[in-house]
A and B are shown apart, each in its own frame.
Chain A
Amino acid sequence: MRADRVSFTLDSTLETVNNAEETAGRMAAEAGFDDEEVMKISMAVREAAVNAVLHGNAYDPSKKVTLAFELTPRDLVITIRDQGKGLDASKIPDPLAADNLMKTSGRGIFLIRSFMDVVEIHPSQTGTELKMIKHVRGSAADSKEASQ
C-alpha cells in the first residue's frame, strides 16, 4: 500500500497560483490520471489557489498559503489552506442562478466542485482549509460510485 504526501508553503502572490496549478498537473500526471483529468485537477487547484491568495490572504505578504498533496491507492487528496478571515461557504452565491449568470466573478468554487469528486470547505478564524479529492480510476471507491 502506497501513501505519498508532499506539502509546500507559498507566498500570497500570483506566482503561487501558477506554481500551484503546475505542481498539481505534474502530481496528477504522475498519479496516472489521463490528460483530461489532469486538466481538471490542475484547474481546480488553480481556482483554489486564487481563492487563497486573493480572497483569503488578500495578497498580504505576511500570510502564507499551504498546499499539500497526498496520494493513496484510492485517492489524490489535495489540501490548500490560507490565513484569511475564513470563507463562509453558505454565502457563496450560485453562479448558475439567473441573477448571477452575467456576474464577472463567483465561479471558482463552482468549478472546483465540478472538477473534483469530493470538496470540503473548513473555515475557521485563522483561515480556510479547502480539501479536494479525486478518486483514482479503478479504485474501490470509484467502482462503488460507478455501481450506484
Chain B
Amino acid sequence: MTMKSSTRQVDGVTIVDLSGRITLGEGSVVLRDTVRDLLSKGHKKILLNLGDVNYIDSSGIGELVSAYTTCKNQGGELKLLNLTKKVHDLLQITKLYTVFDVKEDEAAAVKSFSK
C-alpha cells in the first residue's frame, strides 16, 4: 500500500492526514513534498496525523526528522498525532520520541500550537 496524504485546516493549524507506508521511495517523497508545499504557502503550524500509517522504515524516520527540522528552521512548528504502536516503538528505540512533540488528542494538539 502506497502512502496517501490529505490536508485540512483547524483553527490555523494544518492537519495532514497520512495513511499507508512511509518508506524509501514514494512514501517518503509524498511526505517531503507535502510539508515543503505547506511551508512554501506559509502554513507553518503542521500536525502530522499518523494514525493510519501502518509502517515506516529508516528512510521514513529520516523524512520525519527532515520535516521537523525544515519546519523549525522556517520558524514553524511540526507535531505528531496518533502514533500507531509500530511507529511509537520505532521512535522510542531511535530516541526520537522525546525529540518530537507527540500528541494523542487532536483537539488538544491543535490548542497546543502557539497563537
Closest chain-B Cβ to A14's Cβ sits at a distance in Å of 5
CB pair B24–A111 under 8 Å, yes or no, is: no
**Interface SS of chain A:** helix
Q: In the assembled complex, which residues on chain A have CB atoms less than 8 Å from the CB atom of B86?
A: 39
Q: In the assembled complex, which residues on chain A have CB atoms less than 8 Å from the CB atom of B25?
A: 14, 17
Decide yes or no whether A139 CB sits under 8 A from chain B: no
The digit string for A32-67, where 1 denotes a CB below 8 A from any CB of B, is 000000010001001100100010000000000000
- Taking a contact as CB atoms closer than 8 A, the residue among B59, B63, B93 that contacts A50 in the complex is B59
Q: In the assembled complex, which residues on chain A have CB atoms less than 8 Å from the CB atom of B57?
A: 43, 46-47, 50
CB pair A104–B93 under 8 Å, yes or no, is: no
Decide yes or no whether A107 CB sits under 8 A from chain B: yes
Q: How many residues of B contact A (CB 8 A)?
A: 19
CB pair A110–B62 under 8 Å, yes or no, is: no
- Taking a contact as CB atoms closer than 8 A, the residue among A14, A17, A43, A102 that contacts B65 in the complex is A102
Decide yes or no whether A114 CB sits under 8 A from chain B: yes
CB pair A107–B62 under 8 Å, yes or no, is: yes
Closest chain-A Cβ to B112's Cβ sits at a distance in Å of 21
CB pair B95–A104 under 8 Å, yes or no, is: no
The digit string for B53-73, where 1 denotes a CB below 8 A from any CB of A, is 000011101110110010000
CB pair A104–B24 under 8 Å, yes or no, is: no
Q: In the assembled complex, which residues on chain A have CB atoms less than 8 Å from the CB atom of B59?
A: 50, 105
